[in-house]
């Protein structure tokens, strides 16, 4: 009786349960096959190969002190120091921003050597939260620094206005972080970065013959947030309650977004995903059950 009631309640016979179990097992195997095919396609991309090669280089490279900044970074740092000396007192706090691959870290390191400042890399820091930039005698650097943080404490801000193509080529050459080429919308990233730097108050200076721009903090401050909010309002928008980054997206005429995921290129891997599905469809569980 109890067995009959159980059968009526579940509506399944032992044969049905066995078939369902087989289907789930085959579906799981098919999913794994798709994942492996997708992975093979990703690894065939030049950026993925460069990233893995860079990992191998770091794993087998001998330990020791970090490599010195490249000569070109030193020349740019000399240009920055020259501008700073001509335009005001010694800056004890500096922020450096720019696309991945623009040379932020190298420039910051070279500047740190010349100005005797500590370099604070924020690459592994959650910039969706406010960070304290009041640390004296320090250079903070990150590719989303100006669009996420209150830059009021910084005596000077530096933005590397590198062309997108040049930054992407540098990322591929250096290998470190090359996976970003497959997932990051560099054009959108630069569009928001350009706005963030432009709307900080102050006279924009350029290191001659380079893409390095800098601004010193004016007497009244950068008025960064106020100027961004005013610019959004002029376009008929309202940035009240929005983060700085979201307000910049509004100013760019886009839906308000924030965080690293705001710059992910959702369509970049679509072709590989559908290719992996197509690779696994012949003889798949769906095909077998349809026969």
192-211 residue pLDDT tens: 999 999 999 999 999 999 99
The single residue listed with the structure tokens 């830059």 is 151
26-40, 121-135, 141-155: which range is least confident on average?
Answer: 26-40
What are the contacts of 259-265 at 24+ separation with CB within 8 A? 259/128, 260/144, 263/184, 263/185, 263/188, 263/189, 263/192, 264/183, 264/184, 264/185, 265/183, 265/184, 265/185
Residue 103: phi and psi, rounded to 5, are 100, 20
Q: Specify the 3-state DSSP secondary structure of 217.
A: coil
- By the 8 A CB rule, do 280 and 29 touch? no
We find that the CATH architecture of domain 71-222 is 3-Layer(aba) Sandwich (3.40)
Residue 158: phi and psi, rounded to 5, are -120, 130
In the predicted model, what is the mean pLDDT of the chain? 84
User: What stretch of H or E contains 180?
Assistant: helix 180-183
List, for residues 141-184, the tens digit of each pLDDT value: 999 999 999 999 999 999 999 999 999 999 888 757 677 888 89
Q: What is the mean pLDDT of residues 34-41?
A: 64
What is the β-pairing status of strands 93-98 and 138-141? parallel
What are the contacts of 259-264 at 24+ separation with CB within 8 A? 259/128, 260/144, 263/184, 263/185, 263/188, 263/189, 263/192, 264/183, 264/184, 264/185
* Confidence at 134, pLDDT banded by 50, 70, 90: very high
Q: Specify the 3-state DSSP secondary structure of 140.
A: strand
- By the 8 A CB rule, do 228 and 252 touch? no
* Confidence at 95, pLDDT banded by 50, 70, 90: very high
Q: What is the mean pLDDT of residues 24-48?
A: 64
| 94 beta partners | 139, 156
């Amino acid at each position: 009786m109890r067995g009959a009631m159980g059968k009526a309640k579940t509506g399944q016979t032992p044969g049905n349960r066995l078939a369902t179990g087989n289907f789930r097992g085959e579906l799981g195997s098919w999913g794994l096959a798709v994942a492996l095919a997708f992975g093979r396609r990703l690894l065939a991309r030049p950026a993925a190969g460069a990233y893995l090669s860079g990992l191998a280089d770091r794993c087998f490279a001998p330990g020791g002190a970090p490599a010195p900044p490249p000569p070109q970074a030193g020349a740019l740092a000399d240009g920055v120091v020259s501008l700073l000396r001509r335009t005001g007192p010694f800056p004890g706090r500096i922020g450096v921003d720019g696309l991945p691959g623009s040379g932020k870290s190298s420039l910051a390191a070279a500047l740190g050597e010349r100005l005797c400042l500590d370099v604070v890399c924020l690459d592994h820091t959650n910039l969706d939260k406010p960070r304290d930039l009041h640390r004296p005698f320090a250079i903070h650097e990150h590719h989303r620094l100006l669009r996420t943080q209150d830059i009021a404490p910084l005596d000077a801000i530096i933005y590397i206005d590198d062309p997108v193509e040049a930054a992407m080529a540098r990322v591929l050459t250096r290998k470190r972080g090359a996976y970003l080429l497959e997932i990051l919308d560099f054009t959108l990233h630069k569009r928001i970065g350009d706005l963030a730097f432009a709307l900080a108050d102050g006279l924009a200076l350029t290191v001659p013959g380079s893409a390095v721009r800098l601004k010193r903090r004016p007497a009244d401050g950068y008025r960064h947030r106020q100027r961004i909010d005013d610019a959004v309002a002029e376009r008929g928008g309202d940035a009240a309650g929005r983060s700085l980054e979201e307000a910049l997206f509004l100013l760019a005429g886009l839906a308000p977004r924030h965080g690293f995921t705001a710059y992910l290129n959702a369509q970049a891997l679509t072709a590989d995903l559908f290719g992996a599905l197509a690779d696994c469809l012949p003889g798949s569980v769906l095909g077998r059950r349809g026969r």
